[in-house]
Structure formats: C-alpha cells, structure tokens
Amino acid sequence: MEPLSEEQRKTLEALYRRIDERVSSITGSHAWWPCRKGCDHCCRHLAAPLTVTRMEWTYLWEGFQALSAEARAEVRARVTELHGTQRPYTCPFLERESGGCRVYAHRPLVCRSYGFYMSRGTGNWCQLIQGLLEQHGDGDIVWGNQDTLEEILARLGGATLSLFEWFEAPPTTGC
C-alpha cells in the first residue's frame, strides 16, 4: 500500500477540519451534548466493525503505527476477537480504561461525524443523543450533511475495506 500523496493528505485533512469545526459549533453551544472526551458510548456499541475507504485506512494506519508495540499487539488481538462476536461491537482502537481513542487524531470520517450529521433527514446517533434531543430539542442545531461527506469521501478514496480486510493485508512498510 502506498502512502498518501501530499494532495490526498491535504484534502483529507481539510475535510476532517470541516467536520471538526461543525462538531465544535454544536458542542460549544450545547453544554448538555454528550459527545466529548470521556464519552465512549458509540465506540462500545458499534452496529458493525469499521468499514472505511482505502485512503482513510492509510491515514488511520499512520496513527496505528505511532502506537507502542504493546498497544499495536492489543489492537490486533481485538480485531481477531471481533471475528467471532456479534453486535454490539467494541472498537479495537478504544483504550477501554480511559474511554479514549488510541488513534484519535487519525480517526476516520464515520467516527468524527457520528452524532453531528444527518443523512436525508435522519440522524446518525446513539440513544443518548436521541433522549437528549427529545428533552432539549434540536431547533437551533445546524446539522452537517452526512450524504455530502460520504460523496466527497467516495470521490477521494474509492472502495471501502472492512477492519478485517485491512488487518489481513495491511501495508508492508513500517509494520
């Protein structure tokens, strides 16, 4: 697997910055919003193992490679364990004790946008957010457009790969 070109990196990081700005605008104006450091509810209750574009995997792999050998071995063991489990899945990149993401700066679009974007009028969020929206309302929230994000990413990154496919045949450099 080839590393990202400078143009790919800039484009992907610009997209991620746009998402981060949208997220900041929502969390900054809604103190009750649960998606903050320490909330790992969605990471522990995935409907399916991660599936992202090849470009995002390549970027995520950089974050994975920056982990200690021990942490990388733990993530690999968790990926293997996922093969025989059923939903809900726990993300193998989750540092379970602290609830933090081990590859936070390199996390993919789906992780960045979950809980803050809508697709065709339907929110992509957990029951925690649903309950809070019922309590507080969402009239002043400017949701991001998930469909647009996915279209942009599809143009940039092409086909998707599952967590299992990626770890079965990762890049050979730096492993």
Q: How far is CA 46 from the centre of its chain?
A: 11
pLDDT tens digit string along 49-66?
Answer: 888 888 999 999 999 999
Would you kindly state where each structural domain of the chain is located, as residue ranges? 6-168
Q: Quick one: tokens of 19? A: 């998402």
What pLDDT score was predicted for residue 2? 75
The vertex-29 CA angle with 23 and 33, nearest 5°, equals 65
pLDDT tens digit string along 5-33?
Answer: 899 899 999 999 999 999 999 999 999 98
What pLDDT score was predicted for residue 20? 93
